[in-house]
Amino acid sequence: MQRHGTAVYRYCREALRDAALAEDVQQQVFIAAFRDLPRFSQRSSVRTWLFAIARHRALDAAKSRRRARSRVEGDDATSVPDPAPSPSDSLDDARLREALRLCLGELNPRVLSALLLRFQQGFTFEDMAAMCREKPGTLQAQVTRALPVLRTCIERRTGAVP
């Protein structure tokens, strides 16, 4: 648990952008892992197996939250304020990070998940294919298409080039 707990939490935190929900999902991941441990086939690494559970749980949680929000208050994304535009053309890391988080929130949860698994967690597309049950090429295409979208979004939100 200690070995992978922090990484799973960080993934959930960025995938859900909600600390409390991330903590809840992280615990669900490890509870499910303990429960399913006898069925773990060891065809993949423990880390890949854990993140497959985490991805699944995080997508479920995001879907449930989206449904709840649409019933109660509508789309929350529009209520998030943009970071203040910088007068300069260069973008410091802090502003980039803030803008990136907001732009990630605009992505499809599955694409967001693919980006996080690829760059935040450093999985190969083959590992990701195993946990997402998709072809590596499909995931690579998702990631490749998502990067220009993020860049454009960050430019729009910050008025600066990343």
Q: What is the dihedral of CA 123, 125, 129, 131, to 10 degrees?
A: 10
In sequence order, which ranges of the chain are alpha helices (DSSP H)? 2-16, 19-36, 46-72, 93-104, 109-115, 125-132, 136-158
Q: Which of 63, 66, 69, 101 binds another protein (CB under 8 A)?
A: 101
Q: Is there binding between residue 141 and another protein (CB under 8 A)?
A: no
**Does 14 help bind another protein (rule: CB under 8 A)?**
yes
33, 45 in Cβ contact below 8 A?
no
26 binds another protein (CB under 8 A): yes
What residue ranges bind another protein (CB under 8 A)?
A: 1-2, 5-6, 9-11, 13-14, 19, 23, 26-27, 30-31, 34-35, 93, 96-97, 100-101, 115-116, 119-120, 122, 147-148, 150-151, 154, 161-162
